[in-house]
Amino acid sequence: MRVPSVKDVPVLMNPRFVLTFGTPLVALAGPRINLFKTAGRSMRGVDRRCLKTGVPSHVRQPCYRHLEERLLMDHVSARAVGGKKEETHMRAVVYHTYGSPDVLKLEEVQKPVPQDDEVLVKIHAASANPADWHTMRGAPFLARLVNGLFKPKNPKLGVDVAGRVEAVGRNVTRFQVGDDVFGSMPLNEMGSFAEYVCAKEDALVLKPTKMTFEQAAAVPVAAFTALQGLRDKGQIRQGQKVLINGASGGVGTFAVQIAKSFGTEVTGVCSTRNLDMVRSIGADQVIDYTREDFTNNGQQYDLIFDAVGNRSISDYKRALSPTGICAIAGFTNLRLLFEHMILGPRRSKAGGKQVGLMETAKANQKDLVFIKELLESGKVVPVIDKSYPLSETAEAIRYLETGHAKGKVVITLEQNNNT
Ligand SMILES: NC(=O)c1ccc[n+]([C@@H]2O[C@H](COP(=O)([O-])OP(=O)(O)OC[C@H]3O[C@@H](n4cnc5c(N)ncnc54)[C@H](OP(=O)(O)O)[C@@H]3O)[C@@H](O)[C@H]2O)c1
C-alpha cells in the first residue's frame, strides 16, 4: 500500500502552507490548542480566589494564564482586587477584537507569576515585528480559524523583550534576580508589550553589557530570521556573492551584517533614501530598487535572501548562479506566496538553482548565544529606526505596517534604557 505523502493533503491543510503563513498562524495556533485541550478543566480548575491573591507557580499551568487574565479583565475591576495593585497588576497593551492599531489599548491586567522553570522579567524595552500586526489584524483571515473567528484568545502582543530579572522559578539555574536579559517569547505566548512578562529560562540570554535595553530588544526575531534564512535555508558559505532584498528593514539590516560575518560579498537592495545606511552596515554594493531591477541587470548571485518576497520564481532564477539558492522570508501577497510555496520546490533542482520559502524562524538559545557573540564582537549592530513609549504602541504598529521602517521599531518602558 502506498504511504500517503504531504502532496496528498489538500493545499489549505498542507503543513507547508501552515508554515508559510508561519508567523501569524503559529502565533495563534498555540493558545488555541492549549485552550481547547484545557477548556473544560480550566474553567473548573481556575479558582477565582487564586486569581485575586496570586497562586504559587507550581499549582498553575502556563496555558491558564490567558484565561486568568481574561477572567480578571472581564469580571474583576482592577481596583476591586485588594489594595496591592502594584504587586498583583501591571500595565499591558491588549486587544479584544481583531482590527487596525485602533484596537490596541493600554490596560491594567494581572501581573504574571513565574512557573518553576520561568523567569519574571521587568521589561525595559520590546520591539515590534510584522507578526504583531498580522496577529492583531487576524490576517490572513485563515489565522482566525486557529485563534477564534471573532475575537483573539490571547489578548496580548509582542515577542521580543529586554529587561531585568525580577523573580525566578524554583528550577531556574541560569539566571538570578537583577540579571539583565534579552530574548523572545514563543509565538503562542505573546506578551512583551507590557511591564512584565514570564519567560522560560532557555528563551533568554544575558544582555551584552555594552548594549542598551532598546538595542537588545531590537534583536531576537529579526536576527533569528536572518541567521536561519541565510545559514539553514540558504546554506551560506564564505566567499559567496549574496544579495539581500529588503536590506533596509528589520530583518534585512541583520541579514546584511550576518552575511558579512560569514565572509561573503554582499549586495543590498533598498530604496534611494536608505542607500547610505545599507552601505554603512557593511554592504559591498547597493542597488536602488526604484531605479534598477536586480533580477534584470545581468548579475547573478550564489545566495539571495529575500525579506520582501515580491518577485516571481522566474525572476529569482534569472538572478541566481547555476547552483544558487534563494531563501524567501518576506510575504507580499497570497498569489506570490502560493507561487513561492508550490512552484518553488517544483522548479528547484538538486544541484541546480533552488528557490523556496524559509520556515518560520525558531527562537532558540543556541542561536541567541551565536547572535550575542556577533553583537559583542561588533560585527552586528542593531539599527533602530524609531522608539515609542508603551502608551504609543498603536502608533509603533501603525508605522511598522507601512512596510518602510528603516531597521527596527522599538517600544520603551519608563524604567529607561540604561546599559
Ligand atoms: N519567516 C519568518 O520567520 C519571518 C520572521 C520575521 C519576518 N518575516 C517576514 O519578513 C518580512 C520582512 O520583515 P521585516 O521585519 O524586515 O519588515 P519591515 O521592517 O517592515 O521591512 C520593511 C523594509 O522593506 C523594504 N522594502 C519595501 N518594499 C521593498 C521593495 N520593493 N524592494 C526592496 N525593499 C523593500 C523597506 O524599504 P524602503 O522603505 O526603502 O522601501 C523597508 O526597509 C515580512 O514580510 C515578515 O512577515 C518572516
Task: Out of 341, 360, 404, give the residue to mutate to test ligand 1, the one with the largest number of ligand atoms within 8 Å of its CB.
Answer: 404
CA of 90 to the centre of ligand 1 (A): 32
Does the Cβ of 337 fall within 6 Å of ligand 1?
Answer: no
CATH fold for domain 96-219+390-416: Quinone Oxidoreductase; Chain A, domain 1 (3.90.180)
CA of 370 to the centre of ligand 1 (A): 23
Q: What does 359-394 look like in DSSP terms, one character per residue?
A: PPP---HHHHHHHHHHHHTTS----EEEEEEGGGHH
* pLDDT string in tens for the chain (419-residue length): 333 343 433 333 333 343 334 444 433 333 333 333 333 333 333 333 333 333 333 333 333 455 444 444 433 333 333 444 447 999 999 999 999 999 999 999 999 999 999 999 999 999 999 999 999 999 877 667 656 778 999 999 999 999 999 999 999 999 999 999 999 998 788 999 999 999 999 999 999 999 999 999 999 999 999 999 999 999 999 999 999 999 999 999 999 999 999 999 999 999 999 999 999 999 999 999 999 999 999 999 999 999 999 999 999 999 999 999 999 999 888 899 989 988 888 888 777 999 999 999 999 999 999 999 999 999 999 999 999 999 999 999 999 999 999 999 999 998 644 44
Strands 118-128 and 320-328, how do they pair?
unpaired
Task: Out of 20, 134, 225, give the residue to mutate to test ligand 1, the one with the largest number of ligand atoms within 8 Å of its CB.
Answer: 225
Place of cell 545581468: 298
Q: Give the ligand 1 atom nearest the CA of 271.
A: 40
CATH fold for domain 222-357: Rossmann fold (3.40.50)
Separation CA 316–CA 377 (nearest Å): 33
Domain parsing of the chain, residue ranges: 9-87, 96-219+390-416, 222-357
Q: What is the pTM of this model?
A: 0.83
Task: Out of 308, 336, 385, 402, give the residue to mutate to test ligand 1, the one with the largest number of ligand atoms within 8 Å of its CB.
Answer: 308
